[in-house]
Structures are given as structure tokens and as C-alpha cells.
Amino acid sequence: MQLDPASGWCQGIRHCPSPNFNERPNGEISLLVVHNISLPPAQFGTGKVQEFFQNRLDVTEHPYFESIAGLRVSAHFLIERDGVVTQFVSCLARAWHAGVSSFEGRETCNDFSLGVELEGTDDQPFTDAQYQSLIELSRQLLTTYPNITRQRICGHSDIAPGRKTDPGTAFDWARFRGALQDGGSAQ
């Protein structure tokens, strides 16, 4: 995978463009937010996240889908259980992933953040392949967008406490941060 700074799109990964984005108010990219998602909840490899982010989810297919009908959300990236990375929105654009949020007293984190969704749940371990892809992607993002520092990588729960719990207790922050710090792998 190789991030093209001019377009904000990574080459060598799957692209699945979402209509759920708009322009960043000032072009700033200085925060990376890690999330988790699965549709239906705790079911993996369904392709429903992609449909959801493209506003194509058939809400009659599962009772849970009715509760998210009408929501217009996206993220910049999704990392599936097998480590496959899909990009939905250019890094240069404002994806709709964080919602009502605040980081270091600054509101509306979508304005200045990138969102990475891991296919998973709060309480089920993420896969080695997901950590490997997340580390590789994060290194590209840290290099391309130097205002994102290791201290400016957080979970959705950190910017929307009380409202969001992801990436959850199963996400191994020490493993992730350690691999970024030492330049090694997440094994």
C-alpha cells in the first residue's frame, strides 16, 4: 500500500467510494481515530459495512439494520479480519466517522481527523492480520501527515466518552503503540 499525498488515496488497496464526506473546513489533518464496526453486530465478512458506508444497506435484511436506517456515516479506511484494507474517502476530505466529539478541548474531530475502522467488536480480540495492516497504514499516515503524532492517535471512546466505547477493551494499545514506536511488526 502506498499513500498518494496529492489525491489522499492509497494505491494497492481496495477503493469503495462513499458519498458520506465533505470538504475539511481548513484542510488540517492532525488526529487518527481508531474505531471498530461489524454488521450485523459481531458478524464478520458480510460486506455490510461497505454497503452501509455507501448508503446501500438493505435495512430489511436484519433487525439491527432498522436501528441504523437513515444514518449517513463513513470512515477513511476499514481493515477486515483478514487484514484487507478498503478506503472509502480520500484522506484530504472529511469523512463522517467521529460524530459529536472532542480532542484536547477541540470539538468536531471529523474536521481534522482520519478514521480507521477495524472489523470487530469491543470484546473480541482483533487478528494479527488486522494489527499488521493497521501498523503499515498508520506508518504511511504518520509519514504523510506529520501533524498526526503518536500522541495524536486515539480511540473513538477517547473523543466521545460516554457515547462510544470502541475500539474497546479487546484492542491491544500496547501492541499497536509498541510496534509503531520501535518500527517492528505487531507480532
| Residues forming the active site | 117
For the chain, how many residues are written? 187
Distances 69 to 31, 72, 167 between C-alpha atoms, Å:
28, 9, 22
> 114 with 148: CB under 8 angstroms?
yes
Cell of 171: 484492542
Cell of 75: 470512515
Rounded Cα–Cα distance for residues 74 and 131 (Å)? 21
The number of angstroms, rounded, from the C-alpha of 70 to the middle of its chain's C-alpha atoms is 20
Helices (H), 8-118: 48-53, 63-68
> 29 with 148: CB under 8 angstroms?
yes
Rounded Cα–Cα distance for residues 97 and 11 (Å)? 22
